[in-house]
Structure 1
Amino acid sequence: MSDPLLETLVDNRYLVRSRIARGGMSTVYLATDTRLDRDVALKVLYPHLAADRGFLDRFEREAKSAARLSHPHVVGVLDQGVTDSLSYLVMEYVPGRTLRDVLNERHRLSPRLALAMMDAVVDGLAAAHEAGLVHRDVKPENVLLASSGAIKIADFGLARAVTTSTNTGTLVGTVAYLAPELVTGAGADARSDIYSAGIMLYEMLTGSQPFTGEVPIQVAFAHVHSSVPAPSAACPGLAEDLDELVLWCTSQDPEGRPVDGRALLGELRHIRTSLTDEQLDFHAPGSPPAQRPGQGDRTTVMTQTPSGATEVISQAQPNATEVLQRTDNATTVLGHPLTAEGYQDDDGYDGHGDDDGDYPELSPRAGRRLAKKDFKASQKEASRAAQRPEVSLRPGRPRRRGVLLALLVTLLVAAAAFAGWFFGAGPGALVSIPEVSNTSVEAAGSRLGEEGLRYTTSEVYDEVISAGMVVGTDPAAAQQIRRFQPVTLLVSRGPELFSVPNVIQRSLEDAREKITEAGLATGTVTEEFSEDVPAGQVLAQVPAADADLRRGTPVDLTVSKGPAPVEVPVVAGKTEQEAVRLIQEAGLSATVSPERINSVDVPKGSVAVQTPSSGLVERGGTVTLTISDGPRMVQVPSYVGKQADTAREELERLGFRVEVNEILGGFFGTVRAQDPAGGTAPEGSVIKLTVV
């Protein structure tokens, strides 16, 4: 059937290209992030989950928690969102295969390959457990094998979000790998993931799952009431360490398992290094192909209905629903009693048959199952009976029992006396560690020997105690220990010396950082002019580079202020060529302004204005020169016949200088003659008036 999401744009960002897989809670698509132009895995939740507001709130919080988990063996969560029609999770796209594909192809794996894959899976689980995350659905389908060779575990956070939904008591998992406490409703923690990982390791080693059944509830019942068998029972010849590892991980009691992924990872790596090549590459010769996983490899959703029942819905049979409901003394399956001994179906089958060996009126299917069950029960009883002796070959002898009892009492008394001596005056006695600091190693060793203590030496740096002298002990002085416990003498190597880094021509900030990283301190910082080192960079350091100093010793720095400033020469009034020459000889650059100005005082072609006019400037700075265009030419009006005072005032306002020549004392104050009396004259020139 066509998928309506294909070739659509989700949330205006993710272009759905193809469908990868369908799971118990969602459909996974290959999509392209159009914003970042990269392939991603788009997980779209089923509508009944997306319609639950309480679930969506928890789903968002769990997605954020999973997004903070960054680990090379964990598929990264990139984004999460909710639109009007769907809720989705964006994850890292890992092209390749799943571990399930490998198991379907090879059936079983060599111990070397199985442990290598488990190492990556458990490493990822360890990082998640340390971050407070529990996976809850560890299985081969969720272990991705990238084409690049990377191994990653997927789907963190989603199962937890469903499990903790506010309006359902949903438990998500795959019954073949489900921990017993999840079935009984006791809650999940890191040890639940360890159980699932142990089941997965069993399957990789043997090619089959430890528990199978026609319906998921039978498998779940087996997890609660049966112990996982040793892998060597299904595949003889496997190393005993592998049996112990699987049984440790799959203990029915969570207290009997590793506390988290980190604890399991350490033991897993120890076993990988302790097994021989023959044990790691073991292959059972002539063994038939391993049984492929069946119904139990699909995610199963167990929900608590309003009536208190627990529904078990297998993805392999989406229309088959089985209900587990707790009563005072039993759990029921589809309304039939489920006890520690078995369960009873509509045909009256209770898992064992009647006490007298007769069968009730059963359906053919129930009869076959009952006969098979009774046959197995009779075999077990015959095996137990064969191990019980019919006659005692050695009847008890009272006198011998008395001697043995006396011998046992004597041994207990001797053991108690030995223990009293051992912990009272012997090697197990408590002694106080003497104070031996600032003494020689020989003297300190002699002092410890007087107390019956053994010691080793270890060299440490010390800023106070001289080299070769004892700094102290580990454990410290005055602490009480047993005589058989070793003591470490800490011998001084003198102060720890640190090499001075070379910070010449580095910026001051960079130099401070390098000095701090070297275990030293920045001392006095001074500034000097330099023609060669740019301003702001270190010009000199004291002590010099590669000198050995104690921790925290200051290093003085001299920082360049750049080239020294130069005095600006005064060139106003000089010709343009001479002014440029003088400025360049001073180490500066001269620029001539394209605009000229009129000047009464400066001749045409000479410097009228310079900027700056004087003072100190940085070497290579620019001095701008403005050249004079000479005085401005002004129209000279004629004032002949006019009053001399008026003529003087107006001519001076026009920029002229006025000379008055009075005739007969200038009695009338009238201008009789003017030179010049018209035309133009340079501003500032002299106008002569003759006044009578």
Structure 2
Amino acid sequence: MQDEPLDPLIGATIDDRYLVLAKVARGGMSTVYLAKDIRLNRNIALKILHPHLATDNAFIERLQREAWSAASLSHPHVVQIHDHGVGAAHAYLVLEYIDGHTLREVINSSAPLTPRQALDLLDPIVEGLAAAHAAGLVHRDVKPENVLISRSGWVKIGDFGLSRAVTTTTNTATLLGTVGYIAPELVNGDGGDARSDIYSAGIMLYELLTGEQPFRGKIPIAVAMQHVRDDAPPPSAAVPGLPAEMDELVRYMTEKDPDHRPANGASLLEDLRHIRRTLTPEELDAGGTRRHGNPAALSAATPGSADTEALSAAVDGFATPLGNPTEAIDNGGAGDQANGTTVIDAPLYPTSVIPAANRLYVDDAADTATNTPHFGAAGTESGAGVDHESAEIAPAGLSKREARAAAKDRAKAAARPITTLGSAHPRRRAAIWILVVAVLGLLLAAAGWFLALGPGALATVPNVHNKTVGQAQVLIQDQGFELAATSEVFNEKTAAGLVVDTDPTAGTEQRKFRGVTILVSRGPVLYPVAALAGKTLADAKAALAGGHLAVGAVAEAFDEKAKAGTVVSQNPQPGTEFRSGTKVDLVVSKGPKPIPVPSLVGRTSADAQSALKGVGLVAAVAPDQVNSATVPAGSVVSQSPGDGTLTAGGKVTLTISKGPKMVMVPDVVGKQVDAARAQLEALGFKVKVENVFGGFFGTVRFQDPQGVEAPEGSTVTLRVI
């Protein structure tokens, strides 16, 4: 706890009675200080209203209501209020000082808790609420920050600043409470009653079991609407393995309709203790992955016991007096503290409240030993405070003074012992001492033999590495050690069946009665080879590394089915087992093998199709044939593709020739040779000119063929004179 040196109240005395020692917390309404009650010389928690609110009548009335409400409760699990005051400078409450920590710190450091731990913490909280409900009070702000745990383990619920008397408050009360735990009816403005506290306790139970609140959001109104709209999830959804009874209990306590919840704290307390009795030890200890400490540190006495045993949880390093956790500094206690408290193990025998005896003093008026009533002179039964001496009946013939003297003598005689408790006979006492010394001597001798020569003597564990189990057992027993069970371990260097080492190791000195465990080799650890076919090379390498194996040689090969870059085969085969680091060779696919497309133009259709089939390609003949002056009918005129490569099964389209086109040869006799040539060549014919008599006139006199059809591209002979 670090004080703020500028706070003017530190060191001041409030109302000439309360000396302010240190600041504990500051919130929106008040500041909480650790103070000392000078009159009673005890530490107290002093909650002082902020100055700007001290003059607000509404806040002053609320402070007074808080004092009246809390002061009406006197219960071991409720923080007690001692005093309150309103002056010109300050308005304050004086509260019981709790040297310990809050339940919020337990949740932050230890949640999720087991059902046993959660019920142990919830039981005293509900017992305190039950007392408040029986007194007609509602807390209306039940949350972990308002639950205080003392260093001795007592759990108390505090800050009844939001409570109100059920009989004096209407249902139009202002909405108060912390949004993470607020009941739906308070959000809806319907007012609250004891069942609102039950709802908040149910949310707190969920947080104890899971370590988090069931409803969360970025803004408070979003969380509040979840309380109205959504059902609390079962805690087993967040912490698998919790018993179904805990899910049912959380659901029962957090029902949206208050009529479906327990009626009050007393009703809930009965249900809690019934569930505690019916759960098995395994179910009580389910879940609860603790972040710190020992889970047993939160175990409490059986809830509801007559003497109300305190929780056996001791927390070091905190002194947290009662403040107003609703107004806590920074994040209201919802987050971790800078120096978080660690719950340590409970003492072996936790302190319990012992029931009072029937009689506290020997001279009590009531005679509880015999339960014999005393009667006065009138014969009526008298109560406490009767003077037994004056009540004695004086013997006949004695005056009152003589009777009192006789009574005094009888009292002295009763106080005088009738048996002298002298010392025992000297010889008998000497014999007893001799016997005691003899027994002690025997015990010392036995202990000396045990530690020097017997099973308690020190011996060195022998080296039995690479021995058989039988040989190792003989060597170990020869040294006087007891043999423990053998244990098998994997070892890369020692053959299976031979001894790797001992526990403790060879050369260690220890007592002979302590066992020596022989560690027998199972041989090296063998790892199975994974199936890698179809994986990419990168995935195959990762799989081998994850299986403690290595990649060997990587080869590439064409494969008609495997995608390029994927594993086609491996060596060794899948399922075989090898030592760590064994290399596995891989063959990776280069994809289908490329096939060059042959040139087929001019070849007959049958010859071309046979050639394609021979190289693994497929011939596709075009349905329409074309004329060709150069390619005879039935032969390939063209192909697609004409060159390049294809993969197996690739298709090559063939176009077949139907021979040259037939064209009518015109009659050019009588025409000049140049005109005749041009006309024939335009029709696709070739022209051959033969000059007769030197072809002086240049006139065509004969042609062959003439007036008939001839193949396109064929030759027409002209004779010119």
> Same fold per TM (> 0.5)?
no
Q: Which TM-score band applies after superposition, normalised by the shorter structure?
A: 0.3 to 0.5
Q: State the TM-score, normalizing by the size of structure 2.
A: 0.42
TM-score by length of 1: 0.44
Highest relative contact order (Cα 8 Å, sep 6+), 1 or 2?
2
The structure having more radius of gyration, on CA atoms, is: 2
